[in-house]
Chain A
Amino acid sequence: MRRVAIAPRHDWQDQVERLGFAFHTIDGETYWDESAAYAFTLEQIERDVEAPTDAIEQLCFAFIEKAIDDEEILARLAIPAAQWDFIRESWQRGDRNLYGRLDLAYDGTGPAKLLEYNADTPTGLFESSVVQWDWLEQAMARGALPAGCDQFNALHERLITAFGQLRAPAPYRLHLTCVQNSNEDKGTVDYLMDCAVQAGLDARFSFIEEIGLLSDGRFCDGANQPIETLFKLYPWEWLFRESYAGNLATARCQFIEPPWKAILSNKGLLAFLWEMEAGHPNLLPAFFEGDPRCAGLSPRHVRKPLYSREGANITLLERGKVLDSDDGPYGAEGFILQDAAPNLFGSAGQYAVLGSWLVASQACGLCIREDASPITKNTSRFVPHYIEA
């Protein structure tokens, strides 16, 4: 793993915009950053990213099996008791999932370490799947990189295949939803909708605020069309606490991501995984705050709220001193403490976190987020990667 400086395409804005990538610059700051790229060997990708990602997913499934009938665990994860049956049934029914992203610390040597699992509402998908793919093709075409380079990125193909298999019989009607006022979320959903259309589905979009409830108990879109299958780029922990929470289980709707993802998209997962598999090479020691075992953590550790997105409310501590933190609105449900990763890649004053993508629970792609601080935030830059020829 190396950080390689590469000259950006002179017209890179035009090039990424032609793909429909509209948020390459966010609040005046570069988000898509092709002034550098990360180079990996094929062995690093297959042995240190792909295989551990699949292994961690299996570990997560084992944890769900355990958690699903353990009220203490579900309560510890701050999942409302009223939703436990709803979650259980989705798991027992075998509701399929579409995608997720493991955030890993990795510096090119030794095992990658799981920082967290964005199991429910990951973004960064379009730039991973399409924009960095096209960047590599062009980099090889213009001679900036040697021909024969590759990339860990089968996202586009896998997403289309997965959409066709989420529900039977296919093609089915799929609604997709996200919040208003977020270009990034809308961009992710627009891309997924494109994949769904290519899978032959009847795909329709509604903002989450438009969703209504029909007299027969089903949800409907802004045009009163009943919703039978809903992709929601909106976290389960919020859906569980809003006005329609009591209608979720009776809406006869297949949700994507399925309700059982609520068990994984929670930092409490990190503490439970460590409890299950202490010493696992791809896990970092982690405990719920207040657990006496926290005393055994490294002096340099991280405090994370159970629910947090884009680095919000995460604090990096060294011997009780705050080294880095990000403000935010999360934390009411509690915190976990996790050892700071000893193998975060740092170069040229930049830290890099690997995002390892799963589609239908199979590792199939990689993205790199870079930041001048060790906490990846919503201001972090997306830097493309390639596998050396």
Chain B
Amino acid sequence: MKRSTQIGLAAAGVVLVATIWANSGDDTQEDSLVYNSLAECRAAGQLSSSQCEQRFNEATANHLRDAKKFTSTAACETEYGAGSCRSAVWNGAQVVVPALAGIMLARSLSQGGGAAQPLLPPTQQACPPGSQQPECQQARSSSSSSGGSSGSYGGRSGSSSSSSRAYSTTSGAALVARSGTVSGASSASTVSRGGFGSTSHSYSSSSSS
């Protein structure tokens, strides 16, 4: 026979020819580097409740200090999207800043997590209005819940990145991270992002053949 004897598709939950395939589910507990909220940090149980609070307090303070300030909600939303901004008082003045969307720990949990960096909503440039990117939809719906596995090959609801969410840093860099299920065993810090992919954006079709 010149063809496969059986085909199992773990993600689609399809087994062609009755054969039991090993469960491919991954039960290993992973470290988390990104939390969207204090509640999520506490629920994950990887940092203590007071550590979570401390990290969020730090990030909140840094957020107000570092985030770009606007004089109107409209100006802020032009850059960060509708519903992504809030009012704050900074040095006695009324300002509008992009809301805190989450925190990112600078180091792995085994190292105590390190200082927390504030994460902001993605910019309109990274996630244009109406973007179908799951990361953007995740960010715009400001929900941290996982989309779960759809078992679809090639659809927009790809199984593996559905809980990815887009953010931006206070310096304006775009970032995509998975909260809750992010593994971060690296002791090295990220020095840059986005060094690949530029060529494809000057071509209309896919990068494959």
Interface residues of A, Cβ cutoff 8 Å to B: 18-23, 42, 45, 118, 121-123, 126, 129-130, 133-134, 136-137, 150-157, 178-188, 190-191, 193-194, 197-198, 202, 204-216, 218, 220, 222-226, 233-235, 238-239, 241-244, 247, 309-310, 312, 329, 378, 387
Beyond A19-B9, A20-B153, A242-B198, is A214–B209 a contact (Cβ under 8 Å)? no
Chain B contact residues (Cβ within 8 angstroms of A): what range?
Answer: 35 or more
Cα separation A26 to B111 with both chains bound (whole Å): 48
Known interface pairs A150-B3, A234-B200; A244-B206 also in contact (CB < 8 Å): no
Contact of A122 among B34, B188, B209 (CB under 8 A): B209
| Docked CA distance A226–B183 (Å) | 10
Mask: chain B, 155-189; 1 = CB below 8 Å from A; 0 = not = 11011110010000000000111100011111011
| CB-CB under 8 A for A154 and B191, given A19-B14, A137-B16, A234-B196 | no
Q: How far is the CA of A184 from the CA of B154 in the complex (A)?
A: 6
B199–A242 touching, CB < 8 Å: yes
Partner-A contacts on B (CB < 8 A): 1-5, 7-12, 14, 16, 21-22, 24, 26, 33-34, 133, 151-156, 158-161, 164, 175-178, 182-186, 188-200, 202-209
Asked, given contacts A186-B154, A187-B154, A198-B10, whether A180 binds B133 with beta carbons under 8 Å apart, the answer is yes
A-B contact pairs, 7 of them (CB 8 A): A122-B208, A133-B3, A183-B155, A207-B197, A213-B191, A215-B188, A387-B2
Expressed in whole angstroms, the Cα–Cα distance for A92 and B120 within the complex equals 46
Give chain A's interface secondary structure class.
Answer: mixed
Contact (Cβ within 8 A) B190 A210:
no
A-B contact count (CB 8 A): 238
Among all A-B residue pairs, the 4 with the closest Cβ atoms:
A187-B154, A244-B195, A212-B193, A243-B195
Q: How far is the CA of A129 from the CA of B8 in the complex (A)?
A: 11
- Partner among A122, A154, A179, A224 whose Cβ is within 8 Å of the Cβ of B200: A179
Using CB atoms, name the residue of chain B closest to A234: B207
- Please give the distance in Å from A115's CB to the nearest CB on chain B: 12
Q: Chain B residues near A155: list those with CB within 8 A.
A: 4
Contact B2 A183 (CB under 8 A): no
In the complex where A153-B4, A211-B193, A238-B199 touch, is A223 in contact with B154 (Cβ < 8 A)?
A: no
Complex: A194 Cα to B139 Cα, angstroms: 27
Q: Are A212 and B194 in contact (CB under 8 A)?
A: yes
